[in-house]
Amino acid sequence: MVSHQSITLENTILSDDTVWVGNIMNPVYPKEARRVRYFHPDKGELVFITNNFTLKASEIALVYKDRWQIELFFKWIKQHLKIKRFWGHSENAVKLQICVALVTYLTVAILKEKLYLRQNLYEILQILSVSLFDKSDLNELFSKKTYKGKIVYPENTAQLFDF
């Protein structure tokens, strides 16, 4: 550790230090780094290592908080919007398929908020995926009752194999 400056910028910042990652003789990172210790009420003490010396310690904590939200967003995408295989192998094809997954997520999130749906995003996706041939209004579709674990559809639902 080159210098130690224990600053309390806010109640949640425990310290803001200049450190070497590894040791001075054999550093893992070739330059000085910055260690910000932050206290989160739910998670306890969090430690952030960065090479950004221009932002305030509280801003570093906020950046990592936002970064965590972005990571949770992509984790949800990977868990719920399964991309089992890519349709193309070019960089553009992969980016396009990921964009389609993102648009799907955002559309469902907007639908949930605008219609005040009580279902979570995954349940909304499941209902939409099994209701491709349903001619009902969206409000009506999400207010349907379930019967023994199955959704009960009205008579105006198009049947795929109606012989």
- Global pTM? 0.46
Is 160's pLDDT higher than 60? no
- HSE-CB at 118 with a 13 A cutoff on CA atoms is 3
Is 156's pLDDT higher than 60? no
Give the separation between CA 60 and CA 75, rounded to whole angstroms.
Answer: 22
What pLDDT was estimated at residue 6? 39
Query: Whose structure tokens read 């230090």?
Result: 17
Mean pLDDT of all residues in 15-38:
83
Query: Whose structure tokens read 């605008």?
Result: 114
The tokens describing 91, both together, are 């960089």
Is 124's pLDDT higher than 80? yes
Report CA dihedral (112, 118, 123, 129) to the nearest 10 degrees: -50
Of 33-47, 57-71, 147-161, least confident by mean pLDDT is 147-161
